[in-house]
């Protein structure tokens, strides 16, 4: 198990707080990014999620790291997604900050849900509410939600009908201390679970175990 080494907090760019006796505002350097990655590896995930490290894009930002998650439940279908954390110590005007979270997720949903015109709006709210619920401070969110229904024909006509919701989104996390990345990871994991029909953990409950992939120290 990767124990949580600290508590994430929500701050604005004008605030200064302390975390376990350490000043939150640290110099933004490549070493700072390494500390953020270490905090990601110390993240405690829900038991239903399998987390893997995957190759990160190398041309979008000077520094990046990427993970992939998969959740499969017998009664709720499949949910999977990728999350990329980009970092530019000099800042990026289009991001409105030094960091940027970029995600793509796909989840099975009921056929009744996929034909609901409100699903694409609800899917976006799931992301924003997950960030809010986990007290993840962010800015400049953007994204697209797509509801997809597909049916196979011909030689593969025996395959079941698929109904999915896809989310492509990005936001700028406020990270003044490496441990603040955990609130964004918690929100992202919660989003994957919720779109697959698994409700968020009750407030105050911390995951104590999970299925571990290759994402480790």
Q: Is residue 145 pLDDT above 80, yes or no?
A: yes
In this prediction, residue 76 carries a pLDDT of 58
Distance CA 88, CA 57 (A): 13
Q: Is residue 93 pLDDT above 50, yes or no?
A: yes
Lowest-confidence segment of 61-70, 139-148, 179-188, 189-198 by average pLDDT: 189-198
Q: What percent of the chain has pLDDT above 70?
A: 74
Q: With contact defined as beta carbons under 8 Å apart, do 191 and 127 qualify?
A: yes
In this prediction, residue 114 carries a pLDDT of 66
In this prediction, residue 51 carries a pLDDT of 92
Q: Is residue 123 pLDDT above 70, yes or no?
A: yes
Task: For 19-70, give the DSSP string.
Answer: ETTEES----SHHHHHHHHHHHHT----TTEEEEEEPPPSSSSSEEEEEEEE
Average pLDDT, the chain: 78
Q: What percent of the chain has pLDDT above 90?
A: 45
In this prediction, residue 108 carries a pLDDT of 77
Model-level pTM?
Answer: 0.77
The ranges assigned to domains in the chain are 23-200
Strands 18-19, 63-73: parallel, antiparallel or unpaired by DSSP? unpaired
In this prediction, residue 12 carries a pLDDT of 30
Distance CA 101, CA 105 (A): 13
Q: Is residue 143 pLDDT above 50, yes or no?
A: yes
Q: How confident is the model at residue 74 (pLDDT cuts 50, 70, 90)?
A: low
Q: Given its phi and psi angles, is residue 140 left (phi above 0), alpha (psi -120 to 50 degrees) or beta? A: left
Torsion of CA 52, 53, 59, 63, to 10 degrees: 130
The mean pLDDT of 174-183, rounded to a whole number, is 95
In this prediction, residue 39 carries a pLDDT of 94
Strands 49-54, 211-212: parallel, antiparallel or unpaired by DSSP? parallel
In this prediction, residue 68 carries a pLDDT of 95
In this prediction, residue 25 carries a pLDDT of 45
Burial class (CB in 10 A: 0-12, 13-18, 19+), 31: exposed
Helix, strand, coil proportions of the chain in percent (round to 5)? 25, 35, 40
For residue 182, what are its two tokens?
């955990």
């Amino acid at each position: 198990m990767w124990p949580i080494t600290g508590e994430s907090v929500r701050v604005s760019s004008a605030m200064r707080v302390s975390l376990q006796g350490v000043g939150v505002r640290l110099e933004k350097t490549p070493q700072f990014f390494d500390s953020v990655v270490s905090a990601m590896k110390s993240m405690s995930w829900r038991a239903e999620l399998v987390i893997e490290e995957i190759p990160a894009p190398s041309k979008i930002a000077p520094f990046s790291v990427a993970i992939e998650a998969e959740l499969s439940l017998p009664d709720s279908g499949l949910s999977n997604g990728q999350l990329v954390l980009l970092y530019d110590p000099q800042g990026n005007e289009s991001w409105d900050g030094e960091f940027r979270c970029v995600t793509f997720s796909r989840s099975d949903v009921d056929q009744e849900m996929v034909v609901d015109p409100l699903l694409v709006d609800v899917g976006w709210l799931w992301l924003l509410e997950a960030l809010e619920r986990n007290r993840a401070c962010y800015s400049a969110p953007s994204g697209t939600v797509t509801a997809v229904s597909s049916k196979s024909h011909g030689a593969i006509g025996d395959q079941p009908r698929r109904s999915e919701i896809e989310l492509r989104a990005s936001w700028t996390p406020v990270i003044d201390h490496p441990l603040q990345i955990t609130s964004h990871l918690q929100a992202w994991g919660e989003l994957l679970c919720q779109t697959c029909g698994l409700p968020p953990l009750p407030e105050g409950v911390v995951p104590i175990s999970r299925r571990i992939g290759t994402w480790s120290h």
